[in-house]
Amino acid sequence: MNDDDRVRRLKRDFKQGSKVEISRFKGLGEMPVKDLKQTTMDPAKRTLLRVVVPPEDRALTSDRVESLMGRKPELRFRFIQEHARSAELLDV
């Protein structure tokens, strides 16, 4: 969600002047259990998308997922360093 989405949804979904708190988390492990249950675990509020990777791309995809989401932060750091100059549309 970008800032335009946020503003549009706030206007559409909440009464004007009501207090709305927006939180961001780096990972699901940082979320309070109550929030995790209400968002990620509630089938009525989540969206699941099936991703199909062609067989010829599976090895590269597996390596990329492991380097970006695995247990070795140095691999994520290296990826960021190698690709930082080409990054666009950052949400910072």
Please state the pTM of the whole predicted model: 0.48
Note every long-range contact of 31-38, with CB atoms under 8 Å and residues 24 or more positions apart, other chains counting: none
81: left (phi over 0), alpha (psi -120 to 50) or beta: alpha
pLDDT per position in the chain (92 positions), as tens? 678 888 888 889 888 888 888 877 777 788 889 888 888 888 898 888 899 999 999 999 999 999 998 999 999 999 989 988 888 877 66
User: Measured between alpha carbons, how far is 27 from 32 in angstroms, rounded to an integer?
Assistant: 11
pLDDT value for 91: 66
Give the start-to-end residue ranges of the domains of the chain: 1-45, 49-87
DSSP secondary structure letter of residue 49: -
